[in-house]
Amino acid sequence: MSLTAKELRLFHAQGYLLKPGLFSDEDLQPLRAAISEIIDREARALRSEGELTQLFADEPFGRRLGCINAENPAAGQRIALAVMGKGGGGFKGPAMLQTIRHAPLLSCIESLVGPDIVGSSVYRIRPKLPGWDRGEVPWHQDAGYTLAHCDRHLIVTCWLPLVDATLENGCLHVIPTVHRDGILRHYTGGRANFLEVPDDQLPAVEPVPLPMKAGDVLLLTNLTPHASFANRSDTVRWSIDLRYQGADVPNNAGEDPAAYTPERDPVTMACYPPEADFVIRNPRDPAREVRSAEHFRQVRARYEDNRPPMPGRGWTPLHHR
């Protein structure tokens, strides 16, 4: 499943590449099941509190939370936040590590960053509920969230829908080719409090919508502008995004979170200090690789319990532009 020479050229020229069918339906089931357990637990608690009249337990994965949301949007949002966890990337169960370490995906990543692969600190579960403004993500580059000295490095975002992503339910849109021009000016306090590049400051390049089937993977550079808009369906668009980088890109794998202090020079820091990086592949020292679910949980929890500060990039508030 490594990328072909043509695919590599397309990725570097366009800033993105769509790889269809990288995950089978069977491959996705462990993560869907883990998410479903959280939905069921939270739904039962909400019913006991009188916030729901039924559990919708017979509904399939792609519909259950949508049905709950239709009965009580506040309940739907509470469940979505429980699934996302701290910052959107709090879920650290075995199924997440299994997904991150999916061999066909890692073969593609190796084509881009080499054989020494580090899992970037920021992965996210994204339930896009109908009518939920937090589900909409405005135009941005992922590099806008990382420290400036990392802009020159490639950090690969892998966007993976767990259900079919359509124009109606809020598939991803990308702006091709402009990743070669570097970082755009971002503003804080955008829609749903995300970073945002306003429409009138976007490059004059036509965005490309990318409907995808469940199990397809979209590979993006950290400088590729992308966004997703309103879910106009009655179901939830479930997706995850994973991030990978080469071992030569600044990271905190194996570093004590206490080493990150306000006095430390940001150029000596990992690209995103508040969350844990972890070694996925190291052919010369396989013992460093995070392979077990317990090791993965410990690595993540160590940074969650002692979250380092994030130096600012100097982005100004949207209303001050």
Q: Looking at residues 204-225, what average pLDDT do you find?
A: 98
Question: Which long-range CB contacts under 8 A does 256-263 form with residues at least 24 apart?
Answer: 257/302, 257/303, 257/306, 257/307, 257/308, 258/306, 260/308, 260/309, 261/309, 262/309
* pLDDT at site 86: 73
pLDDT at 89 over 90: no
Lowest mean pLDDT among 126-140, 172-186, 211-225: 126-140
**1 and 23 Cβ atoms separated by less than 8 Å:** no
Could you write out the DSSP letters of every residue in 137-169?
Answer: EEEE-GGGGS-GGGTTS-EEEEEEESS-B-TTT
* pLDDT at site 134: 84
Instruction: Report pTM.
Output: 0.95
Report the Cα 313 to chain-centroid distance in Å. 20
Q: Looking at residues 155-164, what average pLDDT do you find?
A: 98
How far is residue 117's CA from residue 106's CA, in Å, rounded to a whole number?
8
pLDDT at 177 over 80: yes
Lowest mean pLDDT among 113-117, 164-168, 202-206, 309-313: 309-313
Supply φ then ψ for residue 246, to 5 degrees. Answer: -75, 160
Q: Which domains does the chain have, with CATH numbers?
A: 5-27+87-316 (2.60.120.620)
Nearest to 22 by CA among 122, 115, 120, 160: 160
Residue 134, CA distances (Å) to 113, 138, 174 in order: 32, 10, 19
Name the pLDDT band for 244 (thresholds 50, 70, 90): very high
pLDDT at 170 over 80: yes
Amino acid at 124: R
